[in-house]
Amino acid sequence: MTETVLSLRGATKRFGGLVAVNSIDFDVRRGQVLGLIGPNGSGKSTTLNLISGALQPTAGDISLRGVAIGGLRADKIAKRGISRTFQLVRLLPGMNVEQNIIAGAVFGHRRRWGAAAKQDAARLAERVGLGGKGHMAIGQLTYIDTKRVELARALASDPEVLLLDEWLAGLNPTELQVGIELIQSLRDEGRTIILVEHVMDAIRSLCDYCVVMSSGAKIAEGTPDEVLSDPEVIRAYLGDDDA
């Protein structure tokens, strides 16, 4: 059986009286693309924030390769081997493309400095479709290119687990196909990925397994075909009347 890399057991996040994530359990296996899906407000991004350390869990356990990481600071978790992109692209606007990517190499899981970091930044820029654009300012980039920079920065640390929070959101149809193919190529490399996404074509083509959330709770899990045909999942997306 493939090694379990990341595990959540009873992961919970409360904001006062609001339970945003309610005792979530799931495992992610090495080389797997796991889709974390559900309607808006279901707790998907909050779950990624718990895994990455952007938020601290109220209860439950999160472990990476069997070692507890729940409650650690985000920088400590990044150094353990988890990197991410954000629902709204977060780049360093005062730095160019190359410098943004280097930041991932300097502060992430497998750190590199100086010439080694610059060489790796050039390789990753080429890898995500930004070859020859390392000198460009962030403000000069198209929307999809800003997403490419953020992805390259996340990859620069050579993470054990890559978290993609709606990385395909906002792309036009042509860009969407390019984005799906790029993530597919990462999957083909054996990357372990948690993918939060609403684009069902992407879910079906990219994900090995899916966890479905609604109102903070896990309501289904299985292959994409299994969960997307589950009556409870359909009701969560469409409502009782339309389902």
- pLDDT tens, per residue, the chain with 243 residues: 579 999 999 999 999 999 999 999 999 999 999 999 999 999 999 999 999 999 999 999 999 999 999 999 999 999 999 999 998 898 988 999 999 999 888 877 777 778 888 888 999 999 999 999 999 999 999 999 999 999 999 999 899 999 999 999 999 999 999 999 999 999 999 999 999 998 888 999 999 999 999 999 999 999 999 999 999 999 988 776 544
First to last CA, the chain: 37
Residue ranges covered by each domain of the chain: 1-80+163-169+198-243, 82-159
CATH class of 1-80+163-169+198-243: alpha beta
Q: Is the distance from CB of 176 to CB of 205 less than 8 angstroms?
A: no
pTM of structure: 0.92
Q: Is the distance from CB of 178 to CB of 144 less than 8 angstroms?
A: yes
* Closest residue by Cα to residue 73 from 45, 53, 49: 53
| Gyration radius (Cα) of the chain, Å | 18
pLDDT of residue 161: 97
pLDDT of residue 243: 45
Question: How far is the C-alpha of 127 from the C-alpha of 136, rounded, in Å?
Answer: 17
Structure tokens at 19: 């339970």
* Closest residue by Cα to residue 78 from 164, 157, 168, 174: 157
